[in-house]
Amino acid sequence: MSDFHRVVITGMGVVSALGTWPGRFFDRVCAADSGIRTLPEMNPAPPITIAAWIEDGIDNDPKTAVHDRVTQLALTAGRLALEEAKLLDRPDLLQETGVYLGTGAGPSSTMDQSYHRLYAEHKDRVSPMTLPRGIHNAPASELAIRFGMGGANNTFAIACASSATAIGEAMRAIRHGYSERILAGGSEALLTYGVLHAWHALRAVAPPADPVGSSCRPFSSDRNGLVMGEGSGFMVLESLESAQARNAPILAEIVGYGASCDATHITHPTTEGQQRAVQNALQDAGMEPASIDYINAHGTGTLAGDAVEAETLRTVFGADIHSIPVSATKAVHGHLMGAGGAVELAIGILAIRQNRIPPTAHCRVPDETLGIDMVAEGAREQTVDTILSNSFAFGGSNAVLIARRF
Amino acid sequence: MNDIEEQLYVLLIKEVPVAREGLTRDTTLEEIGLDSLSTIEFMFQIEDQFGIRFEQTGTPPKTLGDVFDEVHAKLAQA
């Protein structure tokens, strides 16, 4: 083995409010077909009434259905990725495969329901499965158990940079020979009564617009907040040697990962920290800014967040930023928090595979002060060889990934 | 067979992916995939539904019949 291994993606799986990948997910992103809808009724009614929530597409066999929703989503997206990578019938290879999973809130339904029993129903005990299903690493562990993946099993809890970090760290582990193959990604399912209250209190969430699907409007002058979502995205990362030896499908190559922390404020982003992460990723990939053909922005749709990110891009890319399309797909799949980085990297890779750049949906009054090409008019058909995906988190953590055509 | 045991079968089928057909009092917990953790969860659900509490000590049940007998005994005490 040499000291440096190229890292490729041999399978991807997504489960989201826009359906699954493989499936209609990417077509719906490109069609600006929003998954943001009115939430099902809860009693008592939560203060947030809209989200990109999943109605179907989650594996519902009895072995999956017993778990917390975040684990159910991970088991579904993980299975889809392993299936595409042609690994489901290879227990010998799965035995040495690792799992790197990012999640911000973890199994929040389990904890919400347990506390409800105690505080609201005044029961004197909780289910014995509260801990086994409620620990933060339950989704990663259940993936390992379900598919017999005996490699390193790591959970990253870095808010909205969780799954981008999981993928970046997985790439490094393979690149430097610690592992040959890792299922990496993230899962998030935090549309519970308690968590909805917590987000509402922060005043960062957009109110329902007309139509509801257009409530999240990144890069638009009339943007007024993020819209929460749930979902999961996974990809099989593999050394090039391993993928070629087993004749696996190669979807793309991951070539750059940059990480940093603003180290200034728990919620307010700063451009300097973000710039360090983008520059680190470009340096890691050995690429000039002009090599990037498409940027999937963090773009949450908040006034301050989008402005700081645009400043970051203008500073790092200079004049080149005018010729690089930048879109924020959270407008349609919602803010997937810890799963966002993985799902948005999958969108970038599908842009490479299909030479199709998804739009920033609902950008009805493009904010020209941002100085970026936000693809407001609709999807574009053009050659895409290299993409960059930003994930910027509460806590100030930033993770940036670069992938290219193989 | 009685109503209590039929209710226990219904509860069991909700907890574990197993078909009602073929289940008898002699079926072992192991053969229907109930490990130590899921057995605790099953017992917890029974306690909740029937308003009883099993002893924390004693021999762990091996068959469905063992579980049913414990339920009958607890209900008789209530």
CB contacts of A62 in chain B (<8 Å) are: 16-17
B41/A62 touch (CB, cutoff 8 Å), yes or no: no
How would you label A341-370 residue by residue, b for 16+ Cβ within 10 Å and e otherwise?
Answer: bbbbbbbbbbbbeeebbbbbbbbeebbeeb
Nearest to B41 among A61, A62, A129 (CB): A129
Residue B17 lies in a domain: no
Determine the distance in angstroms separating the CA of B45 from the nearest CA of chain A, rounded to an integer: 8
What's the number of domains chain B is made of?
1
The answer to whether A7-252 and A257-404 have equal CATH topology is yes
Told to judge if A298 belongs to the known catalytic residues of this protein, a careful annotator would answer yes
Res. B14: pLDDT tops 90: no
Going by pLDDT thresholds of 50, 70 and 90, the confidence category of residue B1 is low
Res. B20: pLDDT tops 60: yes
For chain A, domain boundaries: 7-252, 257-404
Determine the distance in angstroms separating the CA of A116 from the nearest CA of chain B, rounded to an integer: 15
Determine the distance in angstroms separating the CA of B3 from the nearest CA of chain A, rounded to an integer: 25
Residue B15 lies in a domain: no
Nearest to B40 among A61, A63, A128 (CB): A128
State the residue range of the domain holding B50.
Answer: 3-9+24-77
User: Residue A2 has what pLDDT?
Assistant: 55
Res. B56: pLDDT tops 80: no
C-alpha span between A68 and A263 (Å, rounded): 33
| pTM recorded for the entire structure | 0.95
Give me the mean pLDDT over the A95-111 stretch.
97
A127/B17 touch (CB, cutoff 8 Å), yes or no: no
User: Residue A256 has what pLDDT?
Assistant: 98
The residue among A158, A154, A156, A164 whose CA lies nearest residue A281 is A164
The amino acid at A321: I
pLDDT one-digit tens code per residue, A6-52: 999 999 999 999 999 999 999 999 999 999 999 999 999 999 999 99
Q: HSE (CB half, 13 Å, CA atoms) of B69?
A: 10
Residue B50 lies in a domain: yes
C-alpha span between A42 and A209 (Å, rounded): 20
Q: What are B's interface residues with A at a Cβ cutoff of 8 A?
A: 15-17, 37, 40-41, 44
Please tell me the class of the A257-404 domain. Answer: alpha beta
User: Residue B59 has what pLDDT?
Assistant: 80
List the catalytic residue out of A298, A333, A362, A363.
A298
- In total, the C-beta contacts within 8 angstroms joining chain A to chain B are 14
* CATH code: domain of residue B64: 1.10.1200.10
* Domain A7-252 bears CATH identifier 3.40.50.800: no
CB contacts of B40 in chain A (<8 Å) are: 128
pLDDT one-digit tens code per residue, A202-223: 999 999 999 999 999 999 999 9
